[in-house]
Amino acid sequence: MQYSLILPIFNEQENIETLYSRIDKVMKQIDRSYEIIFINDGSTDKSQVILTALAKKNKAVKVINFSRNFGHQIAVTAGLNHSSGEVVAILDADLQDPPEVLPSFFKKLSEGYDVVYAIRRHRKESIPKRIMYYLFYRLLRLVANISIPLDSGDFCVMSRRVVLLLKNLPERNRFIRGLRSWVGFRQTGLTYERQSRMAGKSKYTLAKMFKLAFDGIFSFSYIPLQLLTWGGFIFLALAFFGIILTLYAKLFTDIFIPRGFPTTIIVILFIGGMNMFSLGIIGEYIGRIYDEIKQRQLYIVESKLNF
């Protein structure tokens, strides 16, 4: 098998047929063996019926039906796990990622890359969604402990070895575009014009968007935990500053200080600081436990010499 195309489907009945015919056209031009893997992520519309009909017509169409909606990232994971192509592509099923650009992605990959990810030139979504995504990617870049490219989603083509590595990552809260960067090797981006959704409404509810954003941040950053430690430090420092200030005012000035007032403030700052600081310490342990549990490989060897 040369090419695998992975398409997560959640209630996309209006899009599947056009999607299929456009992909079919593109893949016929390339003229290599390919499979199209549809992951029906618990659709409640006619998606399953349409997919079943397509699979009957064309043996290259493979369908995985989930028992319920498990979410986009899980659907893509299932697709990756079932793919057997030397080159694997991930696309959205709403034709926002036009299949017609795939040949240029395949070509770029064949120049010796392991991942060619798509960078959106413009987004054709609502303003609030655009702002949220814009801010999210920048926040992620700021806090993540690996470099994750800005403004690129899951749309990409990957080599088999990257797919095998992704398959072997056991972590459960999967932020695929992050894991893909984590794997390393030679990666590059190609810009493309992101289209607007062909039909239907976005299947990413606000809750799903936040889940994705949190998975991105919490799977690739310790900064939220470390903020606690730093916050604790700041409050403790304020408490000591308060002590010095009060002593100074008492000994060297005749500013009127109400009895007990500085003590109260200092005690509050001190206890608050200690609380935050100790939560930060617990956080550091939790961070390490979390790391152990994710069971990511410690390193990925690209090549060895003289072994």
Asked if 114 touches Mg ion (CB under 5 A), the answer is no
Asked if 125 touches Mg ion (CB under 5 A), the answer is no
Pick one of ligand UDP, Mg ion, none as the site partner of residue 71 (Cβ within 5 to 8 A by kind): ligand UDP
Selected binder of Mg ion within 94, 97, 125, 215 (CB under 5 A):
94
Asked if 11 touches Mg ion (CB under 5 A), the answer is no
Pick one of ligand UDP, Mg ion, none as the site partner of residue 136 (Cβ within 5 to 8 A by kind): none
Q: Please answer whether residues 235 and 276 qualify as being in contact, where contact means their C-beta atoms are separated by less than 8 angstroms.
A: yes
Interface contacts to ligand UDP, rule CB under 6 A: 8-10, 12, 41, 69, 71-72, 75, 92-94, 96, 197, 202-204
Q: Please answer whether residues 38 and 9 qualify as being in contact, where contact means their C-beta atoms are separated by less than 8 angstroms.
A: yes
- Nearest CB to Mg ion, comparing residues 127 and 251: 127
CB of 165 to Mg ion, least distance (A): 27
Asked if 97 touches Mg ion (CB under 5 A), the answer is no
Binding mask 184-223 for Mg ion (x = CB under 5 A): -------------x--------------------------
Please report which residue ranges of 72-175 form alpha helices under DSSP H. 72-82, 102-110, 127-143, 160-167
Q: How many Å apart are CA 87 and CA 115, to the nearest integer?
A: 10
- Nearest CB to ligand UDP, comparing residues 2 and 65: 65
- What is the token pair recorded at 216? 């991105």
Interior CA angle at 196 toward 192 and 201, to 5°?
Answer: 140
Q: How many Å apart are CA 276 and CA 107, to the nearest integer?
A: 52
CB of 192 to Mg ion, least distance (A): 14
Q: Which runs of E-coded beta strand occur in the chain?
A: 3-9, 34-40, 61-65, 87-90, 115-120, 156-159, 187-192
Sheet holding 61-65, edge to edge: 61-65, 34-40, 3-9, 87-90, 156-159, 115-120, 187-192
CB of 173 to ligand UDP, least distance (A): 15
CB of 117 to ligand UDP, least distance (A): 16
Pick one of ligand UDP, Mg ion, none as the site partner of residue 97 (Cβ within 5 to 8 A by kind): none
